[in-house]
Amino acid sequence: MSPQELHPLDILLNPRSVAVVGASTSDQETGWVARLRNFGYTGKIYPVNPKATEVYGLKAYASLRDIPDPVDYVIFNIPRRLVPRIMEDCVAKGVKLAHVFTAGFSEIGDEEGLKLEQQMTAIAKAGGVRVLGPNCMGIYYPKAGLTFNPDFPKKAGQVAFVSQSGAEAMRFVFLGHSVGIHFSKVISYGNAVDLDAPELLEYLTNDDETEAVACYIEGVKDGPRFVRAVRTCLRKKPLVILKAGLTESGAGAAASHTASLAGSKATWEAFFKQTKAIPAITMDDVADVIQAVVRMRRPRGRRVALVGRGGGIGVIAADICERAGLKVPPFHPETREKLSRIIPEAGAGVRNPVETTLGLGGAADFYERGLGIVDTDPETDLILVHMAVDVYGGHQVDLHERVAYAADVLADKAKSLTKPLAVALYTGGYLDTITAVLKARDRLTKAGIPVYPGVEAASRAISKLITYEEVARKYSLAK
């Protein structure tokens, strides 16, 4: 494929060379040049700074125009007043894509910022330069060695994230990483004067490296194109959208963040209803659904088998499941009969929820002997195990060993289950219980099991996964 045939985003994501205009001489260790070099970017890097001869070991140029070779991609790290002039340089140089990291444009609402944004946009458009931003972090694409944060994992994964907020992009990458979810590409696109959510979604829909897409969106300029892009994406892969600024309070905040017209609540509610994009309210929601989407086998229905220690917490969990659109029906009498044979404790429930025996060590015993019984129950479609590690308040003798043992046995037993499995770990507020839970979470997520901080998060995510599957089936039938 010749360069002419590449999608503009292919260049954005695979630039042969990157120039950093405003390459910092004072923050060389943490600046854009260092980021690219240290993260494994193998293309050419050109620092541009009229006051420097070298930045982070690379020859610096006074201007973009002085660079002897072609430049695909330019990062703007300069005061806003210089942005239009540098955009002119980009046009002159034949740059393909400008990532304008600089902030202070339409989002702050002053006359100067608005004028500069319009100038920059007009110059780029007339000159054939595509723009990412302004007021954005840019690209994290581990496969190509591109990142906007030096601490992001170098390991690539199958989830793409398109975010109008740079900080939310950072939070999401770390949230994902902490539960073992990795990314194909993450694109922070800010004020979206050119590249906007619809085009980014269209690209990711056809991107073989991406199996699931998440979006943080404050506003969209081309509504109809966005709706088409969302529908097309959902035919191919799961798409979770956090639309921020849905309320009056949030819409006002969005205006001063990325200058977005947040749109009316009614419009967006209709959007979600029509497209069936998976909705989310917080970044935790997004991460929770993504875990289910990436890790969980597809349940045949909404009937949950709840397994865990504690009667009251089981009742609360059953309520939460039903509020999330799931059901916790009684097990088949035969299942109950089998369970009561292996649970010797008086008062322990076998109806569903089923109580694991004797705390955490006993839970391991139940996982070994009882989960197989639950797995064959004809009245339930999936298994949700909850562990109230917090009930011991950090005082349980051998807490860490017991939790680790329970997680080990559960992870091992999971391999032989035919029903989809998810796990909710209640940490409580003590460092000791939290530490034990984080270790158990790592053990379980490494075994490919989705892990949640409680039944509330788990049941919401599972319910959304099931709804998505129902929608995907309909979309596929309508094709």
Give the footprint of a copy of itself on residues 296-325 (CB under 8 A).
Answer: 306, 309-323
- Least CB distance to a copy of itself at residue 316 (A): 5
Contact string (CB under 8 A) for a copy of itself, positions 323-342, x = contact: x--xxxxx------------
**Minimum distance, C-beta of residue 208 to a copy of itself, in the bound complex (Å):** 28
CA dihedral 247, 249, 252, 254 (to 10 degrees): -70
Q: Which listed residue (1, 266, 346, 477) binds a copy of itself by CB under 8 A?
A: 346
- Return the SS3 of 95: coil
Of 299, 353, 370, 450, the one binding a copy of itself by CB under 8 A? 353
Token pair listed for 286 = 């997004």
Torsion region of 344: left, alpha or beta (phi above 0 gives left; psi -120 to 50 gives alpha): alpha
Strands 239-243 and 278-280: what pairing?
parallel
* Binding pattern for the stretch 261-290 against a copy of itself, x by CB under 8 A and - elsewhere: --------------------xxxx------
Residues 411-440 that bind a copy of itself (CB under 8 A): 426, 428-431, 434-435, 438
Instruction: Give the nearer residue to a copy of itself in terms of CB position, either 194 or 390.
Output: 390
Is 347 one of the binding residues for a copy of itself (CB under 8 A)? yes
Site stretch for a copy of itself (CB under 8 A), options 19-27, 48-56, 66-74, 147-155: 147-155
Strands 183-188 and 138-140: antiparallel
CA 56 → CA 26, 27, 37, 67, 401, distances in Å?
10, 9, 9, 17, 47
Which residues, including other chains, have CB under 8 Å from residue 24's CB and lie 6 or more apart?
31, 32, 49, 55, 77
CA 84 and chain centroid, separation: 33
Report the C-alpha gap between 275 and 282 in whole angstroms. Answer: 20
Question: Min. distance of Cβ 311 from a copy of itself in angstroms?
Answer: 4
- Determine the Cα–Cα distance for residues 131 and 47; give it in Å rounded to an integer: 19
Q: How far is the CB of 329 from a copy of itself (least distance, A)?
A: 7
Nearer to a copy of itself, 205 or 258 (CB): 258
- Asked if 209 is part of the footprint of a copy of itself (rule: CB under 8 A), the reply reads no
Q: Which stretch binds a copy of itself (CB under 8 A): 54-62, 69-77, 148-156, 414-422?
A: 148-156
Binding mask 67-106 for a copy of itself (x = CB under 8 A): -------------x---------------------xxxx-
Q: Does 369 bind a copy of itself (CB under 8 A)?
A: no
Closest CB to a copy of itself among residues 95, 307: 307
Residues 121-140 that bind a copy of itself (CB under 8 A): 135
Out of 127, 250, 362, 448, which residue is the one contacting a copy of itself (CB under 8 A)? 250
Q: Least separation, in Å, of the C-beta of 300 and a copy of itself?
A: 18
Q: Closer to a copy of itself by CB, 209 or 456: give it.
A: 456
53 phi and psi angles, rounded to 5 deg: -105, -20
> What's the CA gap between 398 and 166, in Å, rounded?
42
Strand partners, 266: none
* Distance (Å) of CA 64 to CA 73, 85, 158: 11, 11, 35
**Residue 215: CB minimum distance to a copy of itself, A:** 12
Pair of tokens at residue 441: 């979470």
